[in-house]
Amino acid sequence: MDWLAFISETEDRIARLGRRAPELFKGFSTMSRAAKREDALSEKTKEFIALGIGISTRCDSCIGFHARSLARLRATEEEVTEVVEMAAYMGGGPSIAYGAKALEAFAQFKAQQDCDSVS
């Protein structure tokens, strides 16, 4: 799966929905900012949690968005693997399958992030 293209297409679909339902997106944006603020937990820790939830709920879009955020936040493959392990422990076989997707997505976004850093 090409995660970069998948997330780009997903963002396009979400943007179209956002134009049709601006009040919904205004509220979601407010909730997102509140949840992501750094307080007792760092943004990176919160993204690890979000990735684990994305895996356990079998949400490809969630996996892509949070894997991309973790690449931006300079998470390591080892850290992401531990998130996958916890999600698999809590969610069994389906979480193992979606955890493998999460590692693939993270690797693609990390490679892009590394290329962007060199440029």
Which letter does DSSP use for residue 74 in this model? T
Confidence at residue 33, expressed as pLDDT on a 0 to 100 scale: 95
Superfamily of domain 41-117: AhpD-like (1.20.1290.10)
Residue range 40-87, pLDDT digits in tens:
999 999 999 999 999 999 999 999 999 999 999 999 999 999 999 999
Confidence at residue 71, expressed as pLDDT on a 0 to 100 scale: 98
| Token digits of residue 115 | 């290329």
User: Of 55, 61, 53, whose CA–CA distance to 102 is shortest?
Assistant: 55
User: Of 63, 48, 55, 37, whose CA–CA distance to 95 is shortest?
Assistant: 55
Contacts of 94 (CB under 8 A, 6+ apart): 58
Contact predicate 32/14, CB 8 Å: no
Confidence at residue 118, expressed as pLDDT on a 0 to 100 scale: 83
**Reported pTM:** 0.89
> Taking the domains of the chain in order of start, what are their residue ranges?
41-117
